[in-house]
Amino acid sequence: MLCPYCGHDDSKVLETRDSEDGSVIRRRRECISCQQRFTTFERLEEVHLWVIKKDGSRQRFDVQKVLSGMLRACEKRPVSTELLEETAQAIERDLRQSSGSREFPTILIGEKVMERLKEIDEVAYVRFASVYREFKDINTFLQEIQDLLTREQNHRI
């Protein structure tokens, strides 16, 4: 840390305190060269996640967009907003902890949302899948429902 008074690059820490919310560390320092005291603040650098869209463009990952899509799919369904918020945060956490990558294709994110919705509410899952997978006709829609029913029957066995 460079001294703001003399520019020397060595200082000693006299006191360290965490902020109330724990997001910042305040350090009181003294320059080894000129003995002037100064304060520094350390913050955790947030690493942003990026989404690779179907057209190849990139945009910053927004957990609110994930939540918004799930809320639309769960409209008028017996699913709490709190559960969907927790689920959206869990999806973001999964992405942060997976593979060390910071860029994810929309298809991967959509699949993660569908996996979670399938566990939460099957109607919401089908709603989300119909928009996300861009069902072209009723046969595609029926095939997805048939796959759901088959999986459910296999679970019971």
The string of pLDDT tens digits covering residues 1-12 is: 899 999 999 999
Decide if pLDDT at 99 tops 70: no
Task: Judge if 37 and 81 occupy the same domain.
Answer: no
Domain membership flag for residue 3: no
Task: Judge if 34 and 75 occupy the same domain.
Answer: no
d(CA 134, CA 54): 13
- Which residues, listed in sequence order, are joined to residue 38 by a DSSP beta bridge? 29
The string of pLDDT tens digits covering residues 15-46 is: 999 877 777 899 999 999 999 999 999 987 77
d(CA 146, CA 140): 10
Question: For residues 74 and 84, is the Cβ–Cβ distance under 8 A?
Answer: yes
Task: Judge if 62 and 132 occupy the same domain.
Answer: yes
**Closest C-alpha to 94, from 79, 113, 107:** 113
Task: Judge if 31 and 84 occupy the same domain.
Answer: no
* pLDDT score for 157: 65
- Domain of 20 in residue numbering reads as 11-43
Domains identified in the chain, total number: 2
50: Cβ contacts below 8 Å, ≥ 6 apart: 58, 59, 60, 61, 102, 103, 104
What is the model's pTM? 0.64
Domain membership flag for residue 5: no
Flag the least confident range among 69-78, 99-108, 128-137.
128-137
* pLDDT score for 133: 73
